[in-house]
């Protein structure tokens, strides 16, 4: 099964690498959002520094909906989804593979976003380990919930608009948890970031299990 997971993940990443959608559209979009937040908060350094964690994760949420849309679109075009089923790959391997691919893209964007908030918002990182752990753990949860809901909206006519409505409220705990953990890592608010990391891990685990159980039903019936 691990082989199949790797196959699906590499397939998606290869498509992304060749089409350059992540690099040429999603990354500039993320940068744009950072700049717009700067305008919205009147380039006020103290305000930006306090709000950095929240703005960072809001941006990640937006980017995540784009990445999930993209990951879904890849399967819909030319009946690729059916081909994937016919290839005899377990639905759970498809789910995990697509989750890995989405997570990988989100992590790339986050590396650039961290650089962005350091340069644009004047953030300074106090605890790199906590920061990196938060990025990885939160991303697993986002990608798992994202790839499950992506498959869910795949056959829906208005899927571009339905996806954010479904995905963003479910991701509320990630936004809260990751923002708090970042607050600790950036030293802007005195909270216990590691405790929040535990909550993020719980969210990730729950949604991985849920996706693994429900993905097959969705793939075969919708």
Interface with another protein (CB under 8 A): 145, 148-149, 152-153, 155-158, 162, 165-166, 169-170, 172-173, 176-177, 180, 195-196, 199, 202-203, 206-207, 210, 214, 217-218, 221-222
**What end-to-end distance do the CA atoms of the chain give, in Å?**
23
Going by the DSSP 8-state scheme, the letter that residue 42 receives in this structure is: T
**Other CB atoms within 10 Å distance of the CB of residue 210:** 13
Helix boundaries (H) for the chain = 2-19, 21, 27-40, 45-76, 80-86, 91-120, 128-153, 159-170, 172-186, 193-221
Dist CA 160 CA 184 (whole Å) = 35
Which has the closest alpha carbon to 179: 197, 167, 166?
Answer: 197
Please state the separation of Cα 190 from the chain's center in Å. Answer: 26
Distances in Å between the alpha carbon of 187 and those of 49, 120, 130, 174, 200?
Answer: 10, 17, 11, 19, 19
- Token pair listed for 166: 């479904």
Contact 216, 210 (CB under 8 A): no
């Amino acid at each position: 099964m691990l082989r199949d997971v790797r196959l699906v993940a590499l397939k998606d990443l290869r498509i992304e690498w060749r089409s350059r959608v992540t690099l040429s559209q999603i990354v500039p979009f993320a940068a744009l959002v950072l700049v717009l937040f700067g305008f919205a908060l009147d380039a006020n350094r103290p305000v930006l520094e306090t709000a950095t964690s929240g703005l960072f994760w809001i941006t990640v949420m937006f980017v995540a909906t784009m990445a999930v849309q993209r990951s879904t679109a890849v399967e819909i075009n030319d009946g690729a989804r059916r081909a994937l089923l016919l290839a005899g790959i377990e639905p759970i391997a498809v789910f995990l593979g697509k989750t890995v691919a989405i997570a990988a893209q989100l992590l790339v964007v986050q590396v650039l976003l961290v650089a962005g908030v350091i340069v644009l918002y004047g953030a300074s990182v106090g605890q790199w380990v906590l920061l990196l752990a938060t990025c990885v753990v939160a991303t697993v949860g986002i990608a798992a919930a994202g790839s499950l809901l992506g498959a869910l909206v795949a056959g829906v006519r208005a899927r571009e608009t339905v996806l954010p409505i479904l995905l963003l409220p479910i991701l509320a705990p990630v936004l809260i948890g990751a923002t708090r953990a970042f607050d600790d890592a950036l030293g802007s608010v005195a909270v216990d970031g590691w405790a929040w990391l535990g909550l993020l891990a719980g969210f990730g685990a729950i949604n991985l299990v849920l996706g693994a159980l429900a993905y097959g039903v969705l793939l075969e019936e919708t």
